[in-house]
Structure 1
Amino acid sequence: MNGSSPGVEDGRDHARDQGSAIAWVESPLQMLCAVEAHHAGLLGARSHLVPRASLRPLAATGRELGRLTLPPGLELTAARPDMPRPRRGVTWVVGDAFSGKVQFRWLTGRPGRIVIVDDGLATIRLLELLVGHVGTPLLRARGKAGRLRTALGAAAGLRLRAAARSGRLSIFTALPVPADLAKAVRARGAELVTHDFAWLRSQPLRVPRPKELTVVLGTSLVRNGLIHRDHYLGWLAALGSAGPVAYFPHRREDPHDLVRVGEQPGITVYGGGVPAEMTLRGLAAGQRVLSLPSTAVTSLRVLLSARGVPVETVDVPDEWWTGEAAPSLRSHLSMFAHHDTGATGA
């Protein structure tokens, strides 16, 4: 990897780089989906993947990508602490559309196009806000925003909707988008492109699969205060008592919680950081994946269906939820529970 990227303003005198894209990624899923977007031809001839610095999961994912064959024209560059400022006319690729830094860049820069790749459940929320009232601010579902942050979110929403009207906004997702929502997004002028991890499916399997027949995906719901820790650990203990379980942590799980998970009978905690789509795509018939509602459920079903590996979503009992879990959040999560989501294709 090298430390500079054509099209990024870093104090050097680059000529304008036509047909290029800068992808600023802050999570392993964003990184993987940016690669898929370039492979799908959505970004242009040359793309530069810029990971945020000091994030171990991103470093681990980057190392794994380095062992695979990246699509032609895609370069993984050195990590940076802040989002780069692409030159005018360059395509900007981001995952977290609710980031204040990203929104500020939209307002102070002049991107040629904006491409938004998956960032978990937040992608669906973004689509819903995009088709809402014209003055609706782009803000996260949880947390309270002050007046300045709300004003920034409102201005960013106006800029994003203007990009959609002028045909300069694309959303690239593997998530199940309800058909009526997809229709409304396209009516705003945005391009909505769905994918099935075509690039990743074309790559050789290099990560050894776990020997356990049952694989559990970790969750961020405990750390986020949305489900009760003891209920979750009790469920894992019951699973482990029935047979060996391989546990693949969520990147945002609390390390102290992972210690307790590993203390449950029959549970082996594997290293985390790399997206489950990369680490578990080699599972074989006879194995199964269990998960609480998660965006990874959808993508793993795509990757594992041909291998005869079921990916099962575990319904969260009512008593598990805390008072922080709003009904709207539960409704959003339920869309990942079943195969038939009423979603739309590309």
Structure 2
Amino acid sequence: MTDLAWAESPLQLLSALEARHAGLLGPVEVRVRPGSDALHATAREAIRLGLPPKTTLTFTERIGRTGAAWALGDAFSGRAQGRMLLSRAPERIVLLDDGLATLHLLGLLCGPWKQPLLRARARPGAVRRGFSALAGHRLRALARQGRVTAFTGLPVPAQLLARTRRVGVPVISHEFSWLRALPDEPPPVRRCVVLGTSLVANGLVDRGAYLGWLGGITEEEPVAYYPHRRECPRVLALLREDPAVTLVERDLPVELSLRGLTPEHRVLSLPSTALTSLRVLHGPGPRIEGVGVPAAWWTERADPALRTHLSVSVLGPEFA
């Protein structure tokens, strides 16, 4: 029976392809949820570059049957949880990478059986909480039977790894071997690369402070700016007018679009899981630098717990 993967973001899709390349999945149909330009662009580029053997991509709204193994990109998705509850459980469930949400999910799976599987900062009603609690109960039960595996390129803290092993969820790490095997990508023309952020668009970081930081960088050297897929439109409008900024708008995740980085390149970014992905992908090559958010940049919408979570999870304890 063919395995099935369900992807709702570019990183989830790349993780599904890496899982097939690593042999964690057999012949697999990767179902790609429509409605996201970035996700569709990533799928089309993956097809152009060459999918792992015995892999097909399907654009559909339907999750479909669960297959022999079910690779799940977002265990917090209402669709995924509904399928988990309403269908016969597959032989195995593989939890794919979804950025920081992956670490949050692993932490929840190590918690009480009645704890619902809900995204960080989610404020659901009673019905959704109950629904997600049932999904969590079933996923933990499958883990106890040795039927759940996590697959990630993120470094998982040792304490969390120990807890996941105790509840029956082994964590398999990868180094983007499929991406590494793809044909070379032309390197960015600019030596300094800045990764965009969603923190401004989400109202967590002050726009003026962020633009001031970018202006300080471009006073020293021109930059190539790779926007986040949820970038603030006002920030992009201003950057388009700056002759020191080359906007690279390809609708692709940086794991794909920055495969051609060389030791001559320097990458700067506010807290982002892309920092970790690029470090794993390139190893000791380009300088990939995370930039801590100064206290004065945060808005009132960014509570202290969120600030610490974003900074420590991606940049390290020194940014707490």
TM-score bin (small chain): over 0.9
Q: Distance in 2 between matches of 1:309 and 1:28?
A: 23
Q: Secondary structure at the match of 1:76?
A: strand
CA deviations 1:288-337 (Å, max 9, x no partner) are 1001111111111122234x211000011011112222333223322321
Partners in 2 of 1:296 and 1:38 — Cα distance? 21
Match of 2:287 among 290, 310, 314: 310
Q: Deviations over 1:7-55 (max 9, x none)?
A: xxxxxxxxxx2xx2111111111111100011111112x1011111121
TM-score by length of structure 2 reads 0.94
1:299 equivalent in structure 2: 277
Number of residue pairs matched by the alignment: 317
CA distance in 1, matches of 2:120, 2:204: 13
Paired residue for 1:328, among 265, 289, 305? 305
Aligned CA-pair RMSD: 1.8
Task: Find the partner of 1:55 among 20, 36, 51.
Answer: 36
Partner of 1:8: none
Which segments of 5 or more consecutive residues in structure 1 lack a partner in the other structure?
Answer: 1-16, 342-346
In structure 1, which of residues 13, 16, 25 is the aligned counterpart of residue 7 of structure 2?
25
User: Partners in 1 of 2:68 and 2:236 — Cα distance?
Assistant: 42
CA distance in 2, matches of 1:339, 1:58: 32
% identical aligned pairs:
50
What CA distance in whole angstroms lies between the structure 2 residues aligned with 1:282 and 1:176? 23
Report the Cα offset of residue 120 of structure 1: 1.3
Give the helix-richer structure, 1 or 2.
Answer: 2
Q: Deviations over 1:135-156 (max 9, x none)?
A: 1111111231100111111111
> Is residue 97 of structure 2 the alignment partner of residue 115 of structure 1?
no
User: Structure 1's 340 and 92: CA in aligned 2 closer, same or farther, altered over 3 A?
Assistant: farther
Shift of 1:260: 2.5
Correspondence for 1:248 among 212, 226, 233: 226
Q: How does 1:150-169 map to 2 (within 5 A)?
A: 150-169=129-148
Structure 1 contact 245–268 (Cα < 8 Å) conserved: yes
- Structure 2 CA distance for partners of 1:231 and 1:272, relative to 1, 3 Å: farther
CA shift in 2, pair 1:195/1:105, >3 Å: same
Counterpart contact for 1:215–1:248, Cα < 8 Å: yes
Normalising by structure 1, what TM-score? 0.87
Aligned to 1:69: 50
Shift of 1:93: 1.4
Matches within 5 A, 1:1-346: 17=1, 20-44=2-26, 46-77=27-58, 79-80=59-60, 82-87=61-66, 90-112=68-90, 113-205=92-184, 207-264=185-242, 266-306=244-284, 308-333=285-310, 334-338=312-316
Q: Would the aligned equivalents of 1:121 and 1:295 in 2 still touch at CA under 8 Å?
A: yes
| Structure 1 Cα separation of the partners of residues 129 and 239 of structure 2 | 38
Per-residue deviation, 1:234: 1.1
Structure 2 CA distance for aligned equivalents of residues 129 and 284 of structure 1: 38
Deviation at residue 158 of structure 1 after TM alignment:
0.4
Q: Which sections of structure 2, spanning at least 5 residues, go unmatched?
A: none
After superposition, the Cα gap between the structure-2 partners of 1:227 and 1:242, relative to the gap in structure 1 and judged at 3 Å, is same
| Structure 1 Cα separation of the partners of residues 193 and 118 of structure 2 | 34
Secondary structure, aligned partner of 2:229: coil
CA distance in 2, matches of 1:180, 1:340: 18
Q: Which runs of 4+ in 1 moved over 3 A?
A: 254-257, 338-341
Query: What is the CA-CA distance between 1:67 and the residue it aligns to?
Result: 2.2
Amino acid at match of 2:20: H
Secondary structure at the residue paired with 2:315? coil
